[in-house]
Structure 1
Amino acid sequence: MNRLKSVRIVLTALLLSFVICSTNVSAATYKVVKNDTLYKISKLFKTSVTTIKKSNKLKTNTISPGQKLKVSAKIYTVKKGDTLNKIAKANSVTLASLRKANSKWSDSLSVGQKLILPGVKPAASTSAQTASAKTFAAASAVESASKKAAVSYTKAEKDLLARLITAEATGQPYKAMVAIGGVVINRVQSKEWPDTITDVIYDVPAGYYQFTPVKNGYINKPASSTAIKAAGEALLGTDPSKGAMYYFDDSSTNNWLWSKTKTAQYGNMVFVK
């Protein structure tokens, strides 16, 4: 839970972003290999787990080797004289990511071969640049639903946030529950963390789970009615954590957490930034 971002995305920008993203359709297919996770793939293609799940209609984060996923990435056609290194440099991608995206571990290439350029978005076609009435209607609905929200979110993300609050703060004061939601919102608004509620909660940088309930599976237990109410308040911008980026139980012996600036405490839950 890092620094609080000072500038929030305005609704107009959200609407424009929605339209642009909808025109930038997936242009490549990535084949899942052993030890892949949606998080790793999202970092490779510079997108979010949520976007990949939506593009592929995935209901869970479970994927299997050999599974094919649609990803938004430019396709490059190999030309005479090309090498993997030249292609990587010309398109500002690393050689390692180029190999990974294409499962290309040898240096051999053939003219006409197609390669995925990870992180390089395909150009929108002229027709795609003109959004349809249906797209604008959907975008307007998102704008309308999010007018009073601190961040954009879906019904599923509100439930996910409520389940996190249930797992972390059942038995704690109500303010602690809202504050936990506030911490997640603060992360979404921070440039240092993923930009959706789902990606923040499931974030596992360097293999380190940010939220214990994700690791132990408690995140999958149904949310309590109180937690759902607390999640709703947090999503509307209520933040009893006072800008906190971390929270922990006061029985913790983690010196690094205790060294942070304390912003609030409710019951056993300590909030710091």
Structure 2
Amino acid sequence: MKKTILKLVAVSTLALSLTAISVPHTKASAATTYQVQNGDTFWLIGKEYGVSVKNLMATNKKSSDLLFVGDKLAIPQTITAEEKDLLARLVHAEAKGEPYAGKVAVATVVLNRVDSSLFPNDIKSVIYQKDQGYYAFSPVQDGAINEPADAEAKEAVQEALAYHGMGNGSLYFYNPKTATSDWITSRAVTTTIGNHVFAK
């Protein structure tokens, strides 16, 4: 009996030790808190976790950009890994060959649509939205959405998530060389990046 108890204690201690070794200490488990390190900024933390800088600051009741090493920040919830992957695949398909800033802007359009009362309120529904039998985004229509995203598209999504809520409200984008809709070209232009015009 005594030997069995000692074995159980030894096994339990070993299991706890292995768990402690395998969990990194720089970030809390489940990514709910983060300890500020030298060189950190809200922007870098927001981009790493894919959370809005505005939301990160509001969650932690911060009114300035000032951070102190050792501070613990609560990391607000962000979109799911599946939503990030879907958004990155859309960015990859829609903005292949476009500048990095244009990829960030495409991801931002989707996030802005989620926030807008004119569109569905989640990423998947926005991306797969249909109007008069056609999908809102051509890669969904032609199947290019199913191609895996490259590293730059994934990075652009992380940046768009960090930037979320600080842009100029773009809800649409189009290539003026190929656009056939008079309606889309009548929208107020917010910016032009590469071959895409962004509008609201």
Give the TM-score range, shorter chain.
0.5 to 0.7
Deviation, 1:153, is: 1.0
Deviation, 1:194, is: 1.2
Q: Is the helix fraction higher in 1 or 2?
A: 2
Q: Partner of 1:161 in structure 2?
A: 87
Name the CA distance, whole Å, in 1 between partners of 2:198 and 2:166.
Answer: 9
Which of 112, 135, 142 lines up with 1:186 in the alignment?
A: 112
RMSD: 2.7
- 5 Å-filtered alignment, 1:48-63, equals none
Name the CA distance, whole Å, in 2 between partners of 1:218 and 1:264.
Answer: 25
C-alpha distance after superposition, 1:118-167 (max 9, x if no partner): xxxxxxxxxxxxxxxxxxxxxxx697699862484100110111110110
Number of aligned residue pairs: 134
Name the CA distance, whole Å, in 1 between partners of 2:190 and 2:99.
Answer: 16
- Classify the secondary structure of the residue corresponding to 1:236: helix
Q: Partner of 1:149 in structure 2?
A: 51
Q: Partner of 2:183 in structure 1?
A: 256
- Classify the secondary structure of the residue corresponding to 1:213: helix
Residue 146 of structure 2 corresponds to residue 220 of structure 1: yes
* Structure 2 length-normalised TM: 0.60
Shift of the 175–240 alpha-carbon distance from structure 1 to 2, 3 Å rule, reads farther
Q: Is the 8 A contact 2:107 2:157 kept in 1?
A: yes
Shift of the 205–254 alpha-carbon distance from structure 1 to 2, 3 Å rule, reads closer
Shift of the 263–204 alpha-carbon distance from structure 1 to 2, 3 Å rule, reads same
Name the CA distance, whole Å, in 1 between partners of 2:184 and 2:130.
Answer: 18
Identity, % of aligned pairs?
42
Residue 101 of structure 2 corresponds to residue 175 of structure 1: yes
Q: Is the 8 A contact 2:50 2:159 kept in 1?
A: no
Shift of the 188–220 alpha-carbon distance from structure 1 to 2, 3 Å rule, reads same
What amino acid maps onto 1:173 in structure 2? P
Q: Is the 8 A contact 2:134 2:141 kept in 1?
A: no
Deviation, 1:204, is: 1.2
Q: Is the 8 A contact 2:50 2:158 kept in 1?
A: no
- 5 Å-filtered alignment, 1:82-231, equals 149-150=51-52, 152-231=78-157
Name the CA distance, whole Å, in 2 between partners of 1:185 and 1:160.
Answer: 12
What amino acid maps onto 1:258 in structure 2? T
Shift of the 191–239 alpha-carbon distance from structure 1 to 2, 3 Å rule, reads closer
Deviation, 1:176, is: 0.5
Name the CA distance, whole Å, in 1 between partners of 2:165 and 2:197.
Answer: 14
Name the CA distance, whole Å, in 2 between partners of 1:268 and 1:213.
Answer: 17
Deviation, 1:239, is: 7.3
Structure 1: state its 5+ residue gaps: 1-140
Q: Is the 8 A contact 2:174 2:198 kept in 1?
A: yes
Deviation, 1:242, is: 2.4
Name the CA distance, whole Å, in 2 between partners of 1:241 and 1:253.
Answer: 27
